């Protein structure tokens, strides 16, 4: 056998092994999601500890009022709401004040001003509220989230003596327009697949949009201020808990993002930012992520199947895409806990656009080390460390 044929054979075998591994990930996410999501472990009222919910705010989103109001309606015995804004000219202040006046029986406070502990603006915004929190459990919740009245109970019920951090799997509410469908399909397929399978396998996949943490363990790690040097503070929160011997788990209810301002382009910018952050923390992702996407994986394994088994590459590719599509559709039904609220045609168009754009967005993400986040520019270095430009 010539050297060239030996290299080709090796590459073809590696690709087929990787292809089989990806299908295992698909099935793992599907079955784990069916088992874990939309299930709240039994919990007695006396086990529902007090919770301090920190809400960092910047500006007013069209849905901000209705999103924040859901936190005033939580059915939970003891919790406090700690709202944070960066300066006294922020219009979010009026929204918070109106809700505090509307629900005087809810323990809620407003903090104005930042405490600089690093380049992470979100951490700087939350520090004063964190230092004033009175309960042993801390929830960090983004401004664009809404909660069901039993969501906090669901998160606390997922705690156990060995669990230090509970996070919600990112998802989105139903909204109007194609951009909303596009986001929902992404979070219900590609994002959900990676999130569920990683959590099942014990891989750190924490996102900080909604997570509950033990305050005493966080204090042992240096407190919230110790994470101000990172942009992806959520990932390093989880790493700190793991180092202390605690596990991190997802709760039964997904996190419901409900942005009032959205578009396909703005969503692409979010995907690019997240890809840059992931690659700075785990460099091997630069190579692995693109080749594990549906279209590129299909092209590569079509060649490998033809080389190894003399299979028609076009037939193999079409079957590969069809199976990927069907399993993604089933996974999104698991996330929705029932039939989809969008048509099959809308799902198809959004799914095709997402899969077709994956390689382009990945290349955009790796074209620079700079990140634009909340109108500020940052340069991310290896290890996830960030500095403002």
Residues taking part in catalysis = 234
User: Which residues are paired to 248 by β-bridges?
Assistant: 165
- Please say whether the beta carbons of 189 and 332 come within 8 A: yes
Cα–Cα dist 242/239, whole Å = 5
Question: How much is the CA Rg of the chain, to the nearest whole Å?
Answer: 22
Pairing of the two strands 137-141 and 51-56? parallel
Contact 374, 58 (CB under 8 A): yes
C-alpha distance from residue 386 to each of 54, 141, 207 (Å): 23, 22, 17
At 126 the three-state DSSP class reads helix
Packed helices 92-102 and 64-72: angle between N→C axes, nearest 10 degrees:
30
Contact by Cβ (8 Å): 52, 86? no
The CB-based long-range contact list for 202-207 (8 Å cut-off, 24+ gap) reads 202/247, 204/235, 204/238, 204/239, 204/242, 204/248, 206/165, 206/167, 206/234, 206/235, 206/237, 206/238, 206/248, 207/167, 207/170, 207/234, 207/255
Joined tokens for residue 24: 């295992």
Say if residues 156 and 51 touch (Cβ distance below 8 Å): yes
Farthest CA pair distance, the chain? 80
């Amino acid at each position: 056998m010539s050297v060239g044929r030996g290299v080709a054979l090796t590459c073809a075998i590696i690709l087929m092994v990787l292809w089989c591994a990806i299908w295992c990930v698909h099935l793992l996410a599907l079955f784990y999601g069916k088992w874990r999501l939309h299930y709240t472990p039994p919990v007695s009222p006396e086990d529902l500890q007090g919770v301090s919910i920190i809400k960092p705010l910047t500006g007013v989103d069209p849905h901000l009022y209705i999103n924040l109001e859901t936190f005033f309606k939580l059915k939970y015995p003891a919790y406090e709401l700690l709202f944070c804004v960066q300066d006294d000219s922020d219009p979010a202040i009026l929204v918070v004040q109106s809700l505090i006046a509307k629900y005087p029986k809810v323990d809620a406070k407003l903090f104005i001003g930042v405490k600089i502990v690093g380049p992470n603006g979100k951490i700087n915004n939350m520090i004063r509220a964190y230092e004033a929190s009175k309960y042993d459990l801390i929830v960090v919740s983004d401004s664009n989230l809404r909660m069901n009245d039993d969501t906090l109970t669901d998160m606390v019920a997922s705690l156990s003596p060995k669990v230090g951090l509970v996070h919600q799997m990112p998802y989105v509410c139903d909204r109007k327009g194609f951009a909303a469908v596009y986001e929902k399909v992404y979070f219900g397929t590609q994002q959900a697949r990676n999130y569920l399978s990683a959590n099942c396998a014990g891989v750190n996949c924490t996102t900080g949009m909604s997570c509950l943490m033990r305050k005493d363990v966080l204090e042992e790690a240096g407190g919230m201020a110790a994470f101000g040097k990172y942009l992806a503070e959520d990932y390093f929160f989880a790493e700190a808990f793991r180092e202390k011997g605690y596990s991190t788990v997802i709760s039964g209810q997904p996190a419901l993002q409900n942005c009032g301002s959205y578009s396909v382009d703005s969503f692409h910018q979010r995907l690019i930012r997240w890809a840059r952050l992931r690659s700075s923390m785990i460099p091997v992702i630069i190579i692995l992520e693109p080749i594990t996407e549906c279209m590129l994986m299909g092209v590569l394994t079509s060649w490998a199947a033809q080389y190894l088994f003399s299979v028609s590459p076009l037939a193999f590719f079409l079957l590969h895409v069809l199976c990927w599509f069907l399993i993604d559709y089933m996974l999104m039904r698991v996330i929705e806990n029932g039939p989809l609220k969008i048509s099959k045609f809308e799902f198809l168009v959004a799914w095709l656009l997402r899969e077709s754009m994956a390689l382009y967005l990945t290349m955009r993400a790796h074209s620079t080390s700079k990140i634009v986040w909340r109108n500020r520019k940052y340069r991310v270095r290896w290890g996830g460390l960030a500095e403002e430009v």
